[in-house]
Amino acid sequence: MVASADFQALVTNDIARGYATVSSSAVAISSFTGLAAALIARANVAKITARTAGVMYLTTGNDPTATVGHLIAQNATVEIVGQNNIANLKVIREASTDSEVTITLSE
């Protein structure tokens, strides 16, 4: 059983939702429609969903490639934790098909 104080630490509040079509060039989180810099700076958690095709991502600020980075499969969601990781997030399509990507920011 989770104590109430512990449970409160797990609860997040969504503050923004953004989207982008990810193609053959890396896309920084700051380029997603709906994700202003002030909102990105407040976020502690980012939920990323690759809708129409897989994508690769890095949280280092470097550009991912189709073979370098972490895979998010089509219709899968991952959570990125930590403001620095979120601010440095970049994504690129994993193969030849562009992907519609949604990011939800929480604090």
| Residue 38 scores a pLDDT above 80 | yes
pLDDT at 25: 97
Calculate mean pLDDT across residues 43-51. Answer: 97
Strands (E), the chain: 14-22, 27-28, 45-50, 55-58, 70-72, 76-81, 90-93, 99-106
**What 3-state class would DSSP assign to 45?**
strand
* pLDDT tens for each residue of 55-64: 999 999 999 9
Average pLDDT over residues 60-70: 96
Neighbours of 1 (CB within 10 A): 5
The pTM assigned to this predicted structure is: 0.86
| pLDDT confidence of residue 65 | 96
d(CA 2, CA 44): 21
